[in-house]
Structure 1
Amino acid sequence: MHKKVEKKLFNLFTGELTATILFIIVWILYLRTYDWGPAYLAALPTIYAFFLLEFILLQGSCYWYLKWRQVKNKDFTHLPVKQLKVFALFKGLNLLLIIVGFVLLIVQLIQMPVYFYLYLFVFLFALIEYINYFHIRLSYMSAGEIKEFIQQKGFRSSKLAKELKDL
Protein backbone atom coordinates (compact mmCIF):
# COMPACT_ATOMS: atom_id res chain seq x y z
CA MET A 1 0.00 0.00 0.00
CA HIS A 2 2.78 2.40 0.96
CA LYS A 3 4.58 1.94 -2.38
CA LYS A 4 1.32 2.38 -4.31
CA VAL A 5 0.60 5.72 -2.61
CA GLU A 6 4.20 6.81 -3.05
CA LYS A 7 4.08 6.00 -6.77
CA LYS A 8 0.78 7.85 -7.24
CA LEU A 9 2.11 10.96 -5.50
CA PHE A 10 5.31 10.80 -7.53
CA ASN A 11 3.26 10.62 -10.73
CA LEU A 12 1.12 13.55 -9.62
CA PHE A 13 4.03 15.85 -8.86
CA THR A 14 6.06 14.91 -11.93
CA GLY A 15 2.97 15.05 -14.13
CA GLU A 16 2.07 18.58 -13.02
CA LEU A 17 5.67 19.72 -13.38
CA THR A 18 5.95 18.13 -16.82
CA ALA A 19 2.71 19.77 -17.92
CA THR A 20 3.97 23.15 -16.73
CA ILE A 21 7.20 22.80 -18.70
CA LEU A 22 5.52 21.39 -21.81
CA PHE A 23 2.91 24.18 -21.86
CA ILE A 24 5.73 26.73 -21.92
CA ILE A 25 7.52 24.89 -24.72
CA VAL A 26 4.34 24.57 -26.80
CA TRP A 27 3.50 28.23 -26.15
CA ILE A 28 6.93 29.33 -27.43
CA LEU A 29 6.74 26.97 -30.42
CA TYR A 30 3.35 28.35 -31.39
CA LEU A 31 4.69 31.89 -31.06
CA ARG A 32 7.54 31.10 -33.44
CA THR A 33 5.80 28.74 -35.85
CA TYR A 34 2.48 30.35 -36.68
CA ASP A 35 1.92 33.80 -38.14
CA TRP A 36 -1.11 34.26 -35.91
CA GLY A 37 0.87 33.22 -32.80
CA PRO A 38 2.27 36.55 -31.64
CA ALA A 39 -1.02 38.41 -32.07
CA TYR A 40 -2.97 35.92 -29.97
CA LEU A 41 -0.37 34.45 -27.63
CA ALA A 42 1.57 37.63 -26.88
CA ALA A 43 -1.48 39.74 -26.07
CA LEU A 44 -1.12 40.96 -22.49
CA PRO A 45 -4.39 39.44 -21.19
CA THR A 46 -3.54 36.06 -22.72
CA ILE A 47 -0.07 36.12 -21.20
CA TYR A 48 -1.69 36.97 -17.86
CA ALA A 49 -4.04 33.96 -18.07
CA PHE A 50 -1.13 31.73 -19.09
CA PHE A 51 1.00 33.00 -16.19
CA LEU A 52 -1.90 32.31 -13.80
CA LEU A 53 -2.29 28.77 -15.14
CA GLU A 54 1.44 28.07 -14.86
CA PHE A 55 1.59 29.57 -11.35
CA ILE A 56 -1.25 27.34 -10.14
CA LEU A 57 0.20 24.24 -11.80
CA LEU A 58 3.54 24.89 -10.08
CA GLN A 59 1.76 25.15 -6.74
CA GLY A 60 0.10 21.82 -7.40
CA SER A 61 3.41 20.26 -8.33
CA CYS A 62 5.00 21.60 -5.14
CA TYR A 63 2.13 20.27 -3.02
CA TRP A 64 2.35 16.78 -4.52
CA TYR A 65 6.14 16.83 -4.18
CA LEU A 66 5.86 17.63 -0.47
CA LYS A 67 3.24 14.90 0.02
CA TRP A 68 5.40 12.42 -1.93
CA ARG A 69 8.41 13.26 0.22
CA GLN A 70 6.34 12.75 3.37
CA VAL A 71 5.01 9.36 2.25
CA LYS A 72 8.49 8.31 1.15
CA ASN A 73 9.53 8.92 4.78
CA LYS A 74 6.48 6.93 5.96
CA ASP A 75 4.79 10.06 7.27
CA PHE A 76 1.05 10.01 6.46
CA THR A 77 0.08 13.14 8.39
CA HIS A 78 -0.83 16.59 7.13
CA LEU A 79 1.90 18.88 5.89
CA PRO A 80 3.63 20.90 8.61
CA VAL A 81 1.80 24.10 9.61
CA LYS A 82 4.57 26.27 8.14
CA GLN A 83 4.09 24.69 4.70
CA LEU A 84 0.30 24.83 4.96
CA LYS A 85 0.51 28.55 5.74
CA VAL A 86 2.41 29.04 2.47
CA PHE A 87 -0.38 27.23 0.60
CA ALA A 88 -2.98 29.32 2.44
CA LEU A 89 -1.11 32.41 1.24
CA PHE A 90 -1.09 30.99 -2.32
CA LYS A 91 -4.84 30.38 -2.05
CA GLY A 92 -5.47 34.03 -1.21
CA LEU A 93 -3.05 35.28 -3.84
CA ASN A 94 -4.64 33.02 -6.45
CA LEU A 95 -8.06 34.39 -5.59
CA LEU A 96 -6.80 37.94 -6.05
CA LEU A 97 -5.21 37.02 -9.38
CA ILE A 98 -8.45 35.33 -10.49
CA ILE A 99 -10.45 38.48 -9.66
CA VAL A 100 -8.02 40.49 -11.79
CA GLY A 101 -8.49 37.80 -14.45
CA PHE A 102 -12.26 38.33 -14.45
CA VAL A 103 -11.71 42.06 -14.93
CA LEU A 104 -9.38 41.29 -17.84
CA LEU A 105 -12.01 38.91 -19.20
CA ILE A 106 -14.52 41.77 -19.42
CA VAL A 107 -11.92 44.14 -20.91
CA GLN A 108 -10.91 41.47 -23.39
CA LEU A 109 -14.49 40.94 -24.49
CA ILE A 110 -15.11 44.66 -24.97
CA GLN A 111 -11.80 45.85 -26.43
CA MET A 112 -10.35 42.82 -28.22
CA PRO A 113 -13.14 40.32 -28.91
CA VAL A 114 -11.04 38.54 -31.56
CA TYR A 115 -8.64 37.34 -28.84
CA PHE A 116 -11.39 36.64 -26.31
CA TYR A 117 -11.81 32.88 -26.85
CA LEU A 118 -8.16 31.98 -26.39
CA TYR A 119 -8.04 34.10 -23.24
CA LEU A 120 -11.27 32.50 -22.01
CA PHE A 121 -9.94 28.99 -22.61
CA VAL A 122 -6.63 29.55 -20.77
CA PHE A 123 -8.31 31.51 -17.96
CA LEU A 124 -10.95 28.81 -17.42
CA PHE A 125 -8.22 26.17 -17.41
CA ALA A 126 -6.45 28.12 -14.63
CA LEU A 127 -9.72 28.57 -12.73
CA ILE A 128 -10.48 24.84 -12.92
CA GLU A 129 -6.99 24.01 -11.65
CA TYR A 130 -7.46 26.46 -8.76
CA ILE A 131 -10.76 24.85 -7.82
CA ASN A 132 -9.26 21.37 -8.21
CA TYR A 133 -6.40 22.12 -5.80
CA PHE A 134 -7.89 24.48 -3.25
CA HIS A 135 -11.56 23.51 -3.08
CA ILE A 136 -13.14 20.51 -4.80
CA ARG A 137 -11.41 17.53 -6.34
CA LEU A 138 -12.29 17.63 -10.04
CA SER A 139 -9.76 15.20 -11.48
CA TYR A 140 -10.40 11.49 -11.48
CA MET A 141 -7.81 9.57 -13.52
CA SER A 142 -8.26 5.85 -13.02
CA ALA A 143 -11.29 3.63 -13.44
CA GLY A 144 -11.23 2.98 -9.69
CA GLU A 145 -11.31 6.71 -8.93
CA ILE A 146 -14.19 7.25 -11.36
CA LYS A 147 -16.09 4.35 -9.76
CA GLU A 148 -15.40 5.86 -6.31
CA PHE A 149 -16.67 9.26 -7.55
CA ILE A 150 -19.93 7.71 -8.76
CA GLN A 151 -20.40 5.80 -5.49
CA GLN A 152 -19.85 8.89 -3.35
CA LYS A 153 -22.54 10.68 -5.39
CA GLY A 154 -20.81 13.98 -5.84
CA PHE A 155 -17.65 15.91 -5.46
CA ARG A 156 -15.51 15.90 -2.36
CA SER A 157 -12.99 18.33 -0.99
CA SER A 158 -9.52 18.23 -2.47
CA LYS A 159 -6.69 16.84 -0.37
CA LEU A 160 -5.13 20.29 0.02
CA ALA A 161 -8.48 21.85 0.94
CA LYS A 162 -8.89 19.28 3.72
CA GLU A 163 -5.45 20.05 5.07
CA LEU A 164 -6.02 23.81 4.91
CA LYS A 165 -9.33 23.46 6.71
CA ASP A 166 -7.53 21.99 9.71
CA LEU A 167 -5.01 24.85 9.78
Structure 2
Amino acid sequence: MYHKLTTKLFKLFTGELAATIVFAMVWIMYLNTYEWTKPYLTSLGTLFAFFLLEFLLLQGSYYWFLKWRQAKRRNFSFLPKNKLKLFTAFKKLNILLLGIGFGILLYKLFYFSNVFYWLLFLYLFALVEYINYYHVRLSYQTREVIEELKRHRRFRSSKLAEELKNK
Protein backbone atom coordinates (compact mmCIF):
# COMPACT_ATOMS: atom_id res chain seq x y z
CA MET A 1 0.00 0.00 0.00
CA TYR A 2 2.77 2.45 0.96
CA HIS A 3 4.71 1.83 -2.27
CA LYS A 4 1.54 2.13 -4.36
CA LEU A 5 0.68 5.48 -2.74
CA THR A 6 4.16 6.97 -3.10
CA THR A 7 4.29 5.82 -6.72
CA LYS A 8 0.91 7.41 -7.44
CA LEU A 9 1.90 10.69 -5.79
CA PHE A 10 5.22 10.70 -7.65
CA LYS A 11 3.39 10.22 -10.95
CA LEU A 12 0.95 13.00 -10.11
CA PHE A 13 3.61 15.59 -9.33
CA THR A 14 5.91 14.62 -12.19
CA GLY A 15 2.97 14.44 -14.60
CA GLU A 16 1.81 17.95 -13.76
CA LEU A 17 5.36 19.25 -13.96
CA ALA A 18 5.98 17.48 -17.27
CA ALA A 19 2.75 18.93 -18.69
CA THR A 20 3.89 22.41 -17.69
CA ILE A 21 7.25 21.96 -19.38
CA VAL A 22 5.88 20.27 -22.49
CA PHE A 23 3.18 22.92 -22.99
CA ALA A 24 5.82 25.67 -22.79
CA MET A 25 8.12 23.82 -25.20
CA VAL A 26 5.32 23.25 -27.72
CA TRP A 27 4.29 26.92 -27.42
CA ILE A 28 7.84 28.06 -28.17
CA MET A 29 8.28 25.49 -30.93
CA TYR A 30 5.10 26.66 -32.68
CA LEU A 31 6.14 30.28 -32.28
CA ASN A 32 9.51 29.60 -33.88
CA THR A 33 8.32 27.19 -36.56
CA TYR A 34 5.01 28.45 -37.89
CA GLU A 35 4.66 32.10 -38.82
CA TRP A 36 0.84 31.90 -38.85
CA THR A 37 0.78 31.07 -35.10
CA LYS A 38 2.40 34.34 -33.98
CA PRO A 39 -0.84 36.39 -33.75
CA TYR A 40 -2.47 33.59 -31.77
CA LEU A 41 0.42 32.87 -29.42
CA THR A 42 1.67 36.40 -28.77
CA SER A 43 -1.53 38.35 -28.18
CA LEU A 44 -1.80 39.73 -24.66
CA GLY A 45 -4.95 37.74 -23.90
CA THR A 46 -3.62 34.37 -24.96
CA LEU A 47 -0.29 34.97 -23.23
CA PHE A 48 -2.16 35.84 -20.04
CA ALA A 49 -4.36 32.73 -20.26
CA PHE A 50 -1.36 30.53 -21.05
CA PHE A 51 0.66 31.83 -18.10
CA LEU A 52 -2.39 31.40 -15.86
CA LEU A 53 -2.68 27.79 -16.99
CA GLU A 54 1.04 27.21 -16.42
CA PHE A 55 0.82 28.83 -12.97
CA LEU A 56 -2.06 26.54 -12.00
CA LEU A 57 -0.25 23.45 -13.27
CA LEU A 58 2.81 24.40 -11.23
CA GLN A 59 0.63 24.76 -8.14
CA GLY A 60 -0.78 21.29 -8.71
CA SER A 61 2.68 19.88 -9.22
CA TYR A 62 3.92 21.55 -6.06
CA TYR A 63 0.97 20.22 -4.04
CA TRP A 64 1.53 16.64 -5.21
CA PHE A 65 5.27 17.02 -4.60
CA LEU A 66 4.59 18.04 -0.99
CA LYS A 67 2.19 15.12 -0.53
CA TRP A 68 4.73 12.71 -2.07
CA ARG A 69 7.47 14.02 0.22
CA GLN A 70 5.19 13.58 3.23
CA ALA A 71 4.26 10.05 2.18
CA LYS A 72 7.93 9.15 1.72
CA ARG A 73 8.36 10.03 5.43
CA ARG A 74 5.23 7.99 6.21
CA ASN A 75 3.44 11.13 7.28
CA PHE A 76 -0.15 10.88 6.03
CA SER A 77 -1.54 13.97 7.76
CA PHE A 78 -2.57 17.26 6.24
CA LEU A 79 0.06 19.67 4.99
CA PRO A 80 1.66 21.95 7.59
CA LYS A 81 -0.20 25.21 8.34
CA ASN A 82 2.37 27.37 6.54
CA LYS A 83 1.91 25.37 3.31
CA LEU A 84 -1.87 25.54 3.64
CA LYS A 85 -1.59 29.32 4.06
CA LEU A 86 0.44 29.42 0.85
CA PHE A 87 -2.24 27.47 -1.02
CA THR A 88 -4.92 29.73 0.46
CA ALA A 89 -3.00 32.71 -0.94
CA PHE A 90 -2.65 30.91 -4.29
CA LYS A 91 -6.41 30.29 -4.31
CA LYS A 92 -7.16 33.99 -3.75
CA LEU A 93 -4.62 35.01 -6.40
CA ASN A 94 -6.10 32.47 -8.82
CA ILE A 95 -9.57 33.94 -8.34
CA LEU A 96 -8.21 37.41 -9.07
CA LEU A 97 -6.35 36.17 -12.16
CA LEU A 98 -9.38 34.21 -13.39
CA GLY A 99 -11.45 37.38 -12.99
CA ILE A 100 -8.95 39.36 -15.02
CA GLY A 101 -8.91 36.57 -17.61
CA PHE A 102 -12.70 36.65 -17.79
CA GLY A 103 -12.54 40.40 -18.41
CA ILE A 104 -10.04 39.85 -21.21
CA LEU A 105 -12.26 37.12 -22.63
CA LEU A 106 -15.29 39.43 -22.65
CA TYR A 107 -13.25 42.19 -24.26
CA LYS A 108 -12.05 39.84 -27.01
CA LEU A 109 -15.62 38.60 -27.53
CA PHE A 110 -16.95 42.15 -27.83
CA TYR A 111 -14.22 43.13 -30.30
CA PHE A 112 -14.25 39.65 -31.80
CA SER A 113 -10.63 39.10 -32.61
CA ASN A 114 -9.15 36.16 -34.47
CA VAL A 115 -7.67 34.82 -31.21
CA PHE A 116 -10.98 34.58 -29.33
CA TYR A 117 -11.45 30.80 -29.64
CA TRP A 118 -7.84 30.05 -28.75
CA LEU A 119 -8.13 32.37 -25.75
CA LEU A 120 -11.42 30.72 -24.77
CA PHE A 121 -9.82 27.27 -24.92
CA LEU A 122 -6.85 28.31 -22.76
CA TYR A 123 -9.06 30.16 -20.28
CA LEU A 124 -11.44 27.21 -19.91
CA PHE A 125 -8.48 24.82 -19.52
CA ALA A 126 -7.12 27.04 -16.71
CA LEU A 127 -10.57 27.27 -15.12
CA VAL A 128 -10.97 23.48 -15.16
CA GLU A 129 -7.53 23.09 -13.56
CA TYR A 130 -8.47 25.61 -10.87
CA ILE A 131 -11.72 23.75 -10.12
CA ASN A 132 -9.88 20.41 -10.17
CA TYR A 133 -7.30 21.55 -7.60
CA TYR A 134 -9.31 23.83 -5.33
CA HIS A 135 -12.87 22.52 -5.43
CA VAL A 136 -13.86 19.16 -6.88
CA ARG A 137 -11.86 16.29 -8.22
CA LEU A 138 -12.33 16.21 -11.98
CA SER A 139 -9.31 14.19 -13.03
CA TYR A 140 -7.78 10.87 -12.05
CA GLN A 141 -11.20 9.31 -11.73
CA THR A 142 -11.13 5.68 -10.65
CA ARG A 143 -13.90 3.18 -11.17
CA GLU A 144 -14.88 3.56 -7.50
CA VAL A 145 -15.08 7.35 -7.77
CA ILE A 146 -17.29 7.10 -10.86
CA GLU A 147 -19.58 4.62 -9.08
CA GLU A 148 -19.77 6.98 -6.08
CA LEU A 149 -20.63 9.85 -8.45
CA LYS A 150 -23.49 7.81 -9.88
CA ARG A 151 -24.80 6.95 -6.39
CA HIS A 152 -24.49 10.38 -4.79
CA ARG A 153 -24.85 12.53 -7.92
CA ARG A 154 -21.99 14.79 -6.92
CA PHE A 155 -18.24 14.99 -7.36
CA ARG A 156 -15.81 14.27 -4.59
CA SER A 157 -13.93 17.24 -3.12
CA SER A 158 -10.35 17.52 -4.25
CA LYS A 159 -7.65 16.56 -1.74
CA LEU A 160 -6.40 20.14 -1.57
CA ALA A 161 -9.95 21.46 -1.01
CA GLU A 162 -10.38 19.02 1.87
CA GLU A 163 -7.10 20.13 3.42
CA LEU A 164 -7.92 23.83 3.05
CA LYS A 165 -11.37 23.27 4.58
CA ASN A 166 -9.88 21.54 7.63
CA LYS A 167 -6.95 23.90 8.25
Residue in structure 1 matched with residue 118 of structure 2 by the alignment = 118
Deviations 1:4-49 (A, max 9, x none): 1110000000000000000000001111111211111100000000
- Which residue does the alignment assign to 1:100? 100
Q: 1:91-131: per-residue Cα shift (whole Å, max 9, x none)?
A: 00000000000000011112243110000000000000000
The within-5 A match list for 1:57-96 is 57-96=57-96
Please say if 1:43 is aligned against 2:60.
Answer: no
Unmatched tracts of structure 1, length 5 or more: none
Identity %: 56
Instruction: Confirm or deny: 8 A CA contact 1:46 1:118 kept in the other structure.
Output: yes
Contact 1:17–1:57 (Cα < 8 Å) also in 2:
yes
Q: What stretches of structure 1 move > 3 A for 4+ residues in a row? A: 141-153
Structure 1, 16-25 or 27-36: larger mean CA deviation: 27-36
TM-score norm. by structure 1 comes to 0.95
Task: State the superposition RMSD in angstroms.
Answer: 1.3
Mean alpha-carbon deviation: is it higher for 139-148 or for 7-16? 139-148
Secondary structure of 1:124's counterpart equals helix
| TM-score, with structure 2 as normaliser | 0.95
Q: In the alignment, residue 110 of structure 2 is paired with which amino acid?
A: I
CA distance in 1, matches of 2:54, 2:96: 16
